[in-house]
Amino acid sequence: MSKTTKLGSRLLACVLMLPFLSVNAASMPVDETQYQLVDVGVLAIRGYRDSINRWQPTMQWLEQKIPGTYFRLHPMTLDELSDSVAAQDLDFVITNPGQSVLLARQYSLSWLVTLKSRLNDGQPMQVGSALVVRRNSSIKTFADLRDKRVAIVSSHAFGGYLTLVYAAWKQQIDLPHTVAQLLPTGFPLDNLLYALRDGRADAAVVPVCQLEQMAAEQLISVDDYRVVEDNTPLGFGCRVSTALYPNWSLAKTSRAGQKLAKQVTQALLALPEQSAAATSADSLGWTSAVSQLAIDQLYKDLDMHPLQTPWWQRAMVWLKEHSQWGWSLLLLLISLNAYHFWLEYRFNRRGRQLARAQSKLSENLVLLEHAQRAAVAGELGASLAHELNQPLAAIGNYCHGASVRLQQGQLEKLPQALQQIDAEVGRARAIIQRLRGLLKKQPVAKQQLLLRPLLLDTIELLRFELDKQQIQLQWQLLGREQQQWLEPVAIQQLLVNVLKNAIEALAECQQPHKQVAIVLDYRQPQQVMLQIQDNGPGLSRDASELIQAFTSTKQQGLGLGLVICREIVEDHGGKLSMSNPLTGGCMVQLTLSLKEHADG
């Protein structure tokens, strides 16, 4: 092998060993008697090795410019960096702008320099977020994140979460409460896009250039992803969904001296743009520290600023400064509470009184219904007497005929006579049973019955009145009959009232052809409709007035019949209405539910 070949092989081996030499350099023992040891903490967003490779050349540059020093690099997480600053274990800190504001408002830090962005023409503005989704995702805007799973670095990460939350907040979208789940992946940042690639997340919030950097390292294919609400400034080399904020900065802690801080600042400001240290830090060197006002405003608007105190602490401060108003407010609160308890006591007492009055009213209503049924039965006396006379007269005739046949020895005709007598006795018994049912004081439980038999039974009760007034009945049954939950006594009372009103209205007019038309309609879903229409003079007053208590068009009427009818209909889940149809007369329409209706 030639000398040239051997020399090239050795150079190649040295180049390949550089990253490992850099890593080991951070942990090499140093003679502190010969060198001033300087501890520098850096936020390791992509892991320990990446942080060493990125920032160790900068440490070497500082060692060259400041003789007798050794800069020891400490890659750390967010919490580790905060704890180390609090414990004064570090001399300098390199971190992103979000953590820089949080640290500076809690600890004694002096920000010295800020990185110049290689992607932004040397401007110190580079930090932001990109909302990345898969290429075929339906997510087009921040609003589309509703009920989606979103991967983030952590809830305190600046470029990996908070800048996107702030951009959504400006669009009046409360991102933390809009998404279905936030999936913190922590460092390294590569985990964000891996979670999106593997389907564990629907979207990922990544810091600026994370997507492009991983694509350049051939870890992912950039064509498989898309950035939502692209807000990339003109000429900026990476896709971004938010505004840009100041780049990474370096700060002095209270442990470092002013002389060393001045030397570090001068050395970093003198760093050439194309030097190895600037290139590895992905920058064009350093510039003087820029204002953090925009970041302060972000934390303040998100109610996360470290100098913001809870509302109760601000209230205590105000009370101490305005004690007289505080005592007045306390007395007012005590008075309001006392007044509230007094009102609650009055309300409960009035509620008990109303409950007792309601119970008494319910009892009186039952008695009123019974009295109304008794009055109706009294009015039906003539009809019942006529109805009973017919079977009794028939029984007398059959008994006389049976006696004659018995005397004549015609025994074969006696069974027929006895059967006829038994039928008339059953007829008389049915009439008396109908009267008993109508006079019952307490209603019976609802049963599954057909409405038509109850209606026919009621017509038989009123048959004498119908014949006396020469009223013709017309029947019409529409649809298929269905059983429904009915209280037979109450329904019969309802039908008696409605039919008697029609008979009395026809009795007062001189109509030559008096008629009552009855339509029983089962064609409506889940209900049956009963229409009873006469051809009398019609309603003389508005129907809404007539169904009010103590309102009647009759001289001797109490105005309670229609009120009771309305209560019965509503108890069966229905509705009662009255009107004057165009054909004349009065039409009463009842709708009753076919379903079981709980008593109200």
For position 214, what pLDDT does the model report? Answer: 92
Peptide bond into 306 cis (omega under 30): no
pLDDT at 388: 63
Domain limits at 69? Answer: 21-118+247-301
The verdict on residue 282 lying in a domain is yes
pLDDT by residue (tens digit) across 119-139? 777 677 778 899 999 999 999
We report the CATH number of the domain holding residue 220 as: 3.40.190.10
Of 286, 301, 316, which closes a domain?
Answer: 301
pLDDT of 508: 82
Instruction: Supply the pLDDT for residue 412.
Output: 75
Of 243, 264, 293, at which residue does a domain stop?
A: 243
Domain with residue 505: its CATH number is 3.30.565.10
Q: In the predicted model, is pLDDT for residue 371 greater than 80?
A: no
548 domain residue, yes or no: yes
Q: Which of 193, 220, 243 is the last residue of a domain?
A: 243
- 468, 590: one domain: yes
Instruction: Looking at the structure, tell me whether residues 453 and 480 fall in a common domain.
Output: yes
- What does the pLDDT average to over 168-181? 92
**430 found inside a domain:** no
pTM of the predicted model as reported, rounded to 2 decimal places:
0.44
Q: Are residues 466 and 534 in the same domain?
A: yes
Give residue 63's pLDDT. Answer: 94
pLDDT tens column, 143-165: 999 999 999 998 888 888 999 99
User: Distance (Å, rounded) from C-alpha 441 to C-alpha 434?
Assistant: 14
Same domain, 456 and 487: yes
* Ordered DSSP codes for 107-165: S--EEEEEEEETTTTT-SEEE-EEEEEETT-S--SGGGGTT-EEEES-TT-IIIIIHHH
Q: Is residue 2 part of a domain?
A: no
Residue 196 and residue 153 share a domain? yes
* 93 lies in the same domain as 174: no
Same domain? For 286 and 235 the reply is: no
Same domain, 227 and 258: no
Q: Residue 384 has what pLDDT?
A: 58
Residue 18 has what pLDDT?
A: 40
Mean pLDDT of 488-506: 83
Cβ contacts of 203 within 8 Å, gap of 6 or more: 131, 132, 133, 137, 139, 145, 148, 149, 150, 151, 196, 228
What percentage of the chain exceeds 70 in pLDDT?
A: 78
For residue 8, pLDDT beyond 70? no
CB 530 within 8 A of CB 459: no
Same domain, yes or no, for 88 and 228? no
pLDDT reported for residue 436: 62
CB 183 within 8 A of CB 145: no
Q: What residues contact 91, with CB distance under 8 A and at least 6 apart?
A: 38, 39, 40, 252, 253, 255, 256, 260
When comparing pLDDT for 67 and 371, which is higher? Answer: 67
In a shared domain, residues 259 and 171: no
- pLDDT at residue 19, rounded to an integer: 41
The answer to which of 220-234, 275-289, 367-381 has the lowest mean pLDDT is: 367-381
Question: pLDDT at residue 432 above 80?
Answer: no
pLDDT score of 395: 74
The per-residue pLDDT for 12 is: 35
236 pLDDT band (50/70/90 cuts)? confident
Q: Is residue 476 part of a domain?
A: yes
Is the model more confident about 104 or about 4? 104
User: Is residue 459 over pLDDT 50?
Assistant: yes
The rounded mean pLDDT for the chain is 80
* Burial (0-12, 13-18, 19+ Cβ within 10 Å), 377: middle
Alpha-carbon distances of 442 from 363, 371, 445, 454, rounded to whole Å: 11, 11, 10, 18
User: Is 12 within the bounds of a domain?
Assistant: no
- Specify whether 160 is located in the same domain as 293: no
What is the tens place of the pLDDT at every residue in 248-266? 889 999 899 999 999 999 9
pLDDT attached to residue 546: 65
100 within a domain of the structure (yes/no): yes
Whether the pLDDT of residue 523 is over 80: the answer is yes
Could you give the number of structural domains in the chain? 3
- pLDDT digit string (tens) for 182-192? 999 988 889 99
pLDDT of residue 199: 93
pLDDT digits (tens, 9 = 90+) for 190-203: 999 999 999 999 99
The percentage of residues in the chain with a pLDDT greater than 90, rounded to a whole number, is 29
Look at residue 545 and tell me whether its pLDDT is greater than 60: yes
Kindly state whether residue 86 falls inside one of the protein's structural domains. yes
User: In this structure, what CATH number is given to the domain that contains residue 102?
Assistant: 3.40.190.180
**Same-domain pairing of 58 and 79:** yes
Contact between 133 and 145 under an 8 Å Cβ cutoff? The reply is no
